[in-house]
Structure 1
Amino acid sequence: MVWRVHSSHRAPHAPNPTAQPDELAGGRFDSLDGSYAYLYLADSPDGAIAETICRDLPLDPTIARIVPASAVTGRTLTALTVTRTLTTAALHGPHLAAVGQDLWLTKCEARHYVTTRRWAHAVRTADPALDGLAYRPRHNEDTLAWILTTDPAITPHPDLTIDPTTTPLPLDHVPGRDLVARIIADHSAILSPT
């Protein structure tokens, strides 16, 4: 089972086909040119929330760590089942050296995402059979996250199904807000009430 925080208006296993050519929008390993669709997952609710909701928290301890309520508005946490063994490139620990990188690749701030997207593109180009990348979230080294990639014309992701044993949890209502508040508190952050 893997976990995903996603827009409540999209299917949880629907990849995003949007090209993200600049740092003003999107995530760390999004497609620069739309050549692949992508979605982010984690091995636990904590990892999924850390990677999405906590992603932009400042690392500077002198800056307030407040997550705006808008970060959870219209978002849902959903459990998914992977239906086949996937092949991913490990971008954590000593594996980073194999691609000529260090922790910067997975820990840098959003202003560097155009560069991290170029690295993701290069890794995928070097091994087109990859299903995605595995990495440690910036704000939770104890969890594992993945970006899975697929053909932009395919939706939902062909290797994911919604887990039937777990009810999706809207994050903008209790108990979803309570879960987010608990997890971000572990990261010395608070959820803004409005």
Structure 2
Amino acid sequence: MSGPLPPADLHGRQPELIERPADKELHRFYTAKCEPIFFDTSQDGRFNAPDGSYGVLYAARQGAGAFAETFLRKPGGTLIDTDLLQRKAHVLLAATRKVTLIRLAGSGLARLGATAEVTHSGLPYDVPQAWSAALFGHPIGADGIAYHARHDDTELCYAIFDRSASPIDEVDREVDLDRDWFWRIAEHYGVGLAQ
């Protein structure tokens, strides 16, 4: 098991919340041949519904957080495969209304009875998915979960529930990642392009 399961009294606990104002941009890398606003109902993602009953869109506060979650999945890796680079694209998203997220990080962990293992452990994702389901059902009715990226724990990421799909809009899409801004982020992590 990777971390504690949600406590029986979770719905009586007051979570720490992050409120993102309307029009505040979110960053997301996605598979270029697909649409960027995608609420995953598979059982593959860390905070996906364990039974596929709701979808989750993954994004980050900053480009570095989205980069870390997409391109740093292999610990210790220093090269980005050319094929992976060509398969991925970047999108800026924004919500048309305030988005409220439960902070599953920092002091928000203790408030809920969780530990950083929930957000940072590897497969299987049974425990984080149990947390996702419990937080989805929390009476506060949050739009999603805010957590620190596993591959850069200074970066804040978001798992947004599909009940908040309607306020999410595309702002800008970049399908060619071979750009200076992308390589500046890569350089920050000591990562380059495989030849």
TM-score (norm. length: structure 1): 0.76
* More off after superposition, 115-124 vs 66-75: 66-75
Q: What is the CA–CA distance in structure 2 between the aligned matches of 1:179 and 1:2, rounded to whole Å?
A: 16
Q: Is the 8 A contact 1:92 1:135 kept in 2?
A: yes
- Equivalent positions of 1:136-155 (< 5 A) are 136-151=148-163
Counterpart position of 1:39: 57
Which residue number in structure 1 is paired with residue 109 of structure 2?
A: 96
| 1:65-118 Cα deviation digits (max 9, x unpaired) | 444334333211111111111121101101011221121122212x23222112
Provide the aligned length of Structure 1 versus Structure 2: 171
| Equivalent residues of 1:99, 1:123 under 8 A apart | no
1:154-169 counterparts in 2 under 5 A?
A: 157-163=165-171, 167-169=172-174
Q: Which runs of 4+ in 1 moved over 6 A?
A: none
Is the partner of 2:86 in helix, strand or coil?
Answer: coil
Quote the residue 1:8 is aligned against. Answer: 32
8 Å CA contact 1:68–1:192 kept in 2: the answer is yes
Please identify which structure carries the higher strand content.
2
Find out whether 1:187 has 2:195 as its counterpart.
Answer: no
Structure 1 spans left out of the alignment, 5+ residues: 21-25
In 2, Cα distance between equivalents of 1:114 and 1:70: 30
* CA RMSD of superposed structures (Å): 2.3
Do the aligned residues in 2 keep the contact of 1:57 with 1:67 (CA within 8 Å)? Answer: no
| Structure 2 unmatched runs, 5+ | 1-24
Aligned-pair distance for 1:191? 3.5
Q: Which residue of 2 aligns with 1:57?
A: 74
| Distance (whole Å) between structure 1 residues aligned to residue 77 and residue 93 of structure 2 | 33
Letter in 2 for 1:174: D
